[in-house]
Amino acid sequence: MQDFSAPDDIRSLFSQAMSEMYRKEVPQYGTLMDLVRDVNAATLKADPELNARLDAAGELGRLDVERHGAIRLGTAEELSMIRRMFAVMGMLPVGYYDLSVAGIPVHSTAFRPVEDAALKQNPFRVFTSLLRLDLVEDRDLAAKAENILTLRQIVTDEAKALIELSEAQGGLTKEQAHTFVHEALETFRWHSEATVCTQTYNALVDAHRLIADVVSFKGPHINHLTPRTLNIDAVQAKMPSYGITPKAVIEGPPRRETDILLRQTSFKALEETVVFHGETGSHTARFGEIEQRGVALTPAGRALYDAALTNARHTAAQADAPTYETVLEAEFSSFPDDLDCLRRDGLAFFRYRVSGTVNHKATTIDDLIATGALVADPQVYEDFLPVSAAGIFQSNLGAEDQSNYRANANQDAFEAALGVSVIDEMALYADIQSASLTAALTALGQDHLVETSQAG
């Protein structure tokens, strides 16, 4: 039996290598990383309780390495090949996002680690979109785009060989893993030379800027890398003094005592020089983003969130409406803003751990928590939000591209392209919650409570 590198270690190597490459390609990303690191350090210093909680939950370690990226693919073959590439690094497709609702001709998934230990080590995720040429009205242009896409190969021969080797032998040796990371990086590199001429590029832009971005290049350049901050309002406020102009509003829930789901903001895409068959022009694709992650919500919590967000967007769109922030805060005022309340109401997912001892037979789980024997840590939301993602897409595509495609989800087609089904994110959080609770109750000698916990 050969000694293989752990997929978690390959993912860490890859995430680090991507970060280094993107820092060189987009210097503003490096500036943003520095800003986020400083704000995180200051936040932890000012809030010892948060520091202690993250430390006890084993979450401090992942903070500095944590980031997500995004890519956009052109064909089913590309999506299935990228799935196999990410699988080598322990990243699986989780969730299905339909962006057609927002007038963006893609549907997406997030490749990410799913196991508890893997998430703790390095939760690197890639939001991966597949272009939907079926939504393009101009069928001739769609056919032309498809032809262009079938001519490219986005994975190097060496990377492909190593993916196949890893599948055949069940992993990669350390040396193979290093070569694999080096080769995999090539797929996501920026190409300043387009594969199409100016005229084709312009026709694609006219159909949708996003289509031009996917079709005109040799590969799916990484379009942003996003560090995780503990205080997104502070980073947003400080961006201008670092020479970065953020988008106007932060996507997601409003600022609260207890962070839920995901808040995100980005800065505008850079205009970059591109050569189109010898002719110099430009293209905007790559940008920067930051995110603040909170607790994952249960289906009941998520339904509340979706309703509040929909109402806020509706109200804010009315004439004479107050600012979006004001409306958003008002809509979320009835959303419980306290971890214990979120837990008791079954609105959020937790991870349980033992923190003391008990020598009596407790009658409820709440008893064990009240006495300090059992601790419920909030589970970090590891996924994305479709409405927020649409806002991020739009902020760097330009408002004029918000054409309406009508809701047109097609998860079956996406999964057929992917070659497997996407994993249901809610099931992952629920499994972590129940497994951690069962283990903690057993360790505390409170097995009699396991069944009640599973019933709820």
Given Ni ion, ligand OOG, none, residue 124, with its beta carbon under 5 to 8 Å by kind, binds none
Subset of 289-348 contacting ligand OOG (CB under 6 A)? 289
In DSSP terms, 73 is beta-bridged to 130
Angle at 408 between CA 407 and CA 412, to 5 degrees: 140
In DSSP terms, 284 is beta-bridged to 271
Cβ neighbours for 143, distance < 8 A, ≥ 6 positions apart: none
- Whichever of 131 and 184 has its CB closer to ligand OOG, that residue is 131
Given ligand OOG, Ni ion, none, residue 393, with its beta carbon under 5 to 8 Å by kind, binds ligand OOG
Residue 289: closest CA among 393, 179, 198, 202:
393
Rounded-to-integer distance, Cα 436 and Cα 355, Å:
13
- Whichever of 11 and 263 has its CB closer to ligand OOG, that residue is 263
Query: Both tokens of residue 387?
Result: 């409405």
| Tally: H helices and E strands in the chain | 20, 12
Q: Is 225 in the site for ligand OOG (CB under 6 A)?
A: no
Question: What is the smallest separation between the CB atom of 127 and Ni ion, expressed in angstroms?
Answer: 5
The residue whose two tokens read 């193979």 is: 176
Given ligand OOG, Ni ion, none, residue 109, with its beta carbon under 5 to 8 Å by kind, binds none
Question: What is the smallest separation between the CB atom of 392 and ligand OOG, expressed in angstroms?
Answer: 4
- Whichever of 219 and 391 has its CB closer to Ni ion, that residue is 391
Query: Both tokens of residue 78?
Result: 């590309």
Residue 270: C-alpha distances to residues 12, 131, 247, 378 (Å) = 27, 22, 13, 37
Fill in the per-residue mask, 71 to 110: x = in contact with ligand OOG (CB under 6 A), - = not in contact: -x--------------------------------------
Stretch that binds Ni ion, among 5-13, 82-90, 105-113, 285-293 (CB under 5 A): 285-293
**Burial class of 367 by CB neighbour count within 10 A (0 to 12, 13 to 18, 19+):** middle
Question: What is the smallest separation between the CB atom of 273 and ligand OOG, expressed in angstroms?
Answer: 21
Subset of 270-299 contacting ligand OOG (CB under 6 A)? 289
- Whichever of 66 and 289 has its CB closer to Ni ion, that residue is 289
Given ligand OOG, Ni ion, none, residue 5, with its beta carbon under 5 to 8 Å by kind, binds none
Question: What is the smallest separation between the CB atom of 289 and Ni ion, expressed in angstroms?
Answer: 5
Question: What is the smallest separation between the CB atom of 72 and ligand OOG, expressed in angstroms?
Answer: 5
Rounded-to-integer distance, Cα 136 and Cα 401, Å:
13
Residue 39: closest CA among 230, 226, 227, 242:
230
Which position among 19, 187, 223, 394 is part of the footprint of ligand OOG (CB under 6 A)?
A: 223
Q: Is 221 in the site for ligand OOG (CB under 6 A)?
A: no
Residue 401: closest CA among 200, 198, 211, 134:
211
Stretch that binds ligand OOG, among 37-45, 140-148, 158-166, 389-397 (CB under 6 A): 389-397
Which position among 32, 126, 348, 389 is part of the footprint of ligand OOG (CB under 6 A)?
A: 389
- Grouping H, G, I as helix, E, B as strand and the rest as coil, residue 134 is helix
Cβ neighbours for 339, distance < 8 A, ≥ 6 positions apart: 258, 295, 348, 376, 378
Binding site for ligand OOG (CB under 6 A): 70, 72, 127, 129, 223, 264, 289, 384, 388-389, 392-393
